[in-house]
Amino acid sequence: MKTVISEKFKTLFGGEGQFYASAGRINLIGEHTDYNGGYVFPGAIDKGILAELALNGSDKVCVFSIDIDEYVEFGLNEENAPSQSWARYIFGVCRETIKRGGKVAGFNAVFAGDVPLGAGLSSSAALESTFAFAINDLNGNGIDRFELAKIGQATEHNYCGVKCGIMDQFASCFGKKGSLIRLNCKTLEYKYFPFNPEGYRLVLVDSCVKHELASSAYNKRRQSCENAAAAIRKNHPDVEFLSDAKRLWLEEVRSEIPQEDFLRAEYVIGEVQRVLDVCDALERGDYETVGELMYQTHFGLSRLYEVSCEELDFLNRLARKMDVTGSRVMGGGFGGCTINLVKDELYQPFVDAAVSQFTEKFGHAPKIYDVVISDGARKLQ
């Protein structure tokens, strides 16, 4: 990938730039909890974005995407974002950096990536974090990693129409090889947990389906949670986020809120606790409990939060049937992957069965990705 990028860079702009990279992410547990002020438990992966950048002495950004095979140019003083969706991310990162008082000088860039698109592995966060990190470094802005993650998140909110939480950008900015990170999304306290489950493997099964309108459905879930939190807050003024609420407090407002909002909130309150339970179980080396909690999350995401789909439910049931330790839909949902915690000896039979049975049922093969937990945003030497 590096050679292809540097050859293109030389041809387009001449000379050499500096290389930067960032990563997509997995999340062991803690889904749709981030924008509710709860816990998440992600890690960066060995699939990401690699970019070469150099300042160009102008007020223009000139970028080429190898994967899309497209060149885009925009001025740093322009108000309107480019129409190409991939370029909007870079535009957004520039604008959000400037908004925070950072300097952004014009630059040339070429980039490529290997995060599968639409698989729920946060290819967009990888792109945002790579550019946020690179622009910060090239301009000597000294913005810290949390703020870089927030630049990526604000880009999604203000330029891409997704009211996402902080998890994806956090994971790609803070990712560390071999470790998952538990983040409290309310206080932003975080802790690294070395993750090396002896005798088990983490494997993703990508359904290769991505449902339309995923971002509006996502924003709607967020709205339901905010409605539920607002109703609870009337009785319990200290409830800032839904994650601050107890199950009993939700029960108190059951008749005041739509059934749909109630179910969404019920899932979130349970999920916040499951993250803590998974961390405890991991510290004891109790992977069976970790796996059981993953199945509980899948049930909640499918029945209460309603962000699963037929293909993902099928993969989850298959995992259960084959005695896979843990399995659940991962990321925002509405398609994408299941994440599976599988005993070494079951790995091959499970993968084989998932591929053959899924293909038979849905007419296309799923993709299998082995998870390697890796470093997040960085400058390459």
Contact 52, 18 (CB under 8 A): yes
Which residues does residue 45 pair with via DSSP β-bridges, in sequence order? 373
As measured in angstroms, the least distance from the Cβ of 363 to ligand GLA is: 27
Q: Is-contact 276 262, C-beta < 8 A?
A: no
Is residue 168 part of the annotated active site? The answer reads yes
**Are the C-beta atoms of 154 and 96 separated by less than 8 Å?**
yes
Give min distance, CB of 212 to ligand GLA, in A.
16
- What's the closest the beta carbon of residue 63 comes to ligand GLA, in angstroms? 23
Provide, rounded to whole angstroms, the least separation between the CB of residue 36 and ligand GLA. 9
Q: Does 34 bind ligand GLA (CB under 6 A)?
A: yes
* 128, 168, 311, 375: which one binds ligand GLA (CB under 6 A): 168
Closer to ligand GLA at the Cβ: 23 or 164? 164
| Binding residues for ligand GLA restricted to 186-215, rule: CB under 6 A | none
Q: Helix 85-99 crosses helix 123-138 at what angle (to 10 degrees)?
A: 40
Q: Is 375 one of the binding residues for ligand GLA (CB under 6 A)?
A: no
Q: Which is nearer to ligand GLA, 17 or 331 (CB)?
A: 331
Size of the site for ligand GLA (CB under 6 A): 11
Stretch that binds ligand GLA, among 26-34, 109-117, 238-246, 295-303 (CB under 6 A): 26-34
Min dist CB 89 to ligand GLA, Å, is 13
In the bound state with ligand GLA, the residue whose beta carbon lies nearer, of 186 and 343, is 186
Instruction: Please classify residue 236 by burial: count the beta carbons closer than 10 Å to its beta carbon, then call 0-12 exposed, 13-18 middle and 19+ buried.
Output: middle
Among 24, 113, 332, 335, contact with ligand GLA (rule: CB under 6 A):
332
Selected binder of ligand GLA within 17, 48, 152, 165 (CB under 6 A): 165
Per rule CB under 6 A, is residue 32 in the interface with ligand GLA? Answer: yes
Binding residue (CB under 6 A) for ligand GLA from 24, 92, 331, 335: 331
Shortest approach of ligand GLA to residue 256 CB, angstroms?
Answer: 26
CA distance 59 to 46: 34
Is the Cβ of residue 225 or residue 239 nearer to ligand GLA in the bound state? 225
Q: Which is nearer to ligand GLA, 9 or 35 (CB)?
A: 35
Among the listed residues 164, 269, 341, 346, the single contact to ligand GLA using CB under 6 A: 164
Judged by CB, which is closer to ligand GLA: 35, or 74?
35
Token match 């950096």: residue?
Answer: 97
Instruction: List the catalytic residue out of 34, 168, 244, 261.
Output: 168
Q: Which is nearer to ligand GLA, 19 or 218 (CB)?
A: 218
Q: Which two tokens stand for residue 87?
A: 């370029």
Question: What is the arrangement of strands in the sheet containing 190-194, beginning at the earlier edge strand?
Answer: 39-40, 179-184, 190-194
Q: Taking the complex as a whole, how short is the minimal distance between the CB of residue 287 and ligand GLA, in angstroms?
A: 22
Site string for ligand GLA, 115-144 (x = CB under 6 A): -------x----------------------
What b/e readout covers 95-109, taking b as 16+ CB neighbours within 10 angstroms? bbbeeeebebebbbb
Catalytic site positions = 168
Binding residues for ligand GLA, per CB under 6 A?
31-32, 34-35, 122, 164-165, 167-168, 331-332
